[in-house]
Amino acid sequence: MRVILFGASGMIGQAVLRECLRDAGVERVLSIGRGKTGVTDPKLEEIVHSDLWQYGAIEQRLAGYDACFFCLGVSSGGMPPEEYEKITYGITLAAAETLARLNPGMTFVYVSGAGTDSSEIGRVRWARVKGRTENAILRLPLRAYMFRPGVIQPLDGVQSRTPSYRLLYSITAPMLPLLRWMFPNAVITTRQIGRAMIAAARNGAPKHVLESGDIRKLGR
């Protein structure tokens, strides 16, 4: 299996990259982003691409892949609504539409989040934007799956790039194993998310929108 990965430097992207490199069934991983991952592995190829809304210059390198794991995202906190939508919807659809044209029928896993609003008419703006993004992807000629994780426990040295999130994870780390035991379908690990994406690409998933409990089962 040949995989394209967006957002490899983020917390979920780091985990997905780790699991892909460890999985013998993944032949090659192509990471696309504005910077290098810092990871060296014979299976990993990287494209540093500054304009994530346009892919014409690198299209010839994006064909022949079986799956795309789209883990790129930003927090809506403190960001102008138009900028958040330009990144969340604009970048995601630019990539998805390009890959659907070059690799029709490929698996496309998009990481949105718990609380995403599929109706696109709710009161929470970020949830509406995520819902609009999900719906647009699901209309493309792709085997698409929407991952909506809630509370995530980072493992294997994976950490968030956002300082406030790193602080939050360090404070809550002692409680997360207990929370996982008490609420197994609400808390999932980065390892489970990575394995679940590979499983979805390899064998499919029972539905197209997966909440934390579904991701946990798929990533066993």
Across the chain, which has 220 residues, the per-10-residue mean pLDDT values are: 96 96 98 94 97 96 98 86 94 98 97 94 95 98 96 78 59 68 77 97 96 92
Cα–Cα distance, 73 to 117 (Å, whole number): 16
Query: Total structural domains in the chain?
Result: 1
Tokens 């493992």 belong to which residue? 155
pLDDT of residue 89: 97
The CATH code of the domain that includes 105 is 3.40.50.720
Query: What is the model's pLDDT at position 36?
Result: 92
Residue range 63-100, pLDDT digits in tens:
999 999 999 988 887 789 899 999 999 999 999 999 99
Specify the length of the chain in residues.
220
Domain that holds residue 180: 2-218
Could you tell me where the beta strands, DSSP code E, fall in the chain?
2-6, 28-33, 44-48, 67-70, 107-111, 143-148, 151-153, 187-189, 209-211
Total-model pTM: 0.90
What is the pLDDT, as a whole number, of residue 74? Answer: 85
Within 10 angstroms of residue 181's Cβ, the number of other Cβ atoms is 9
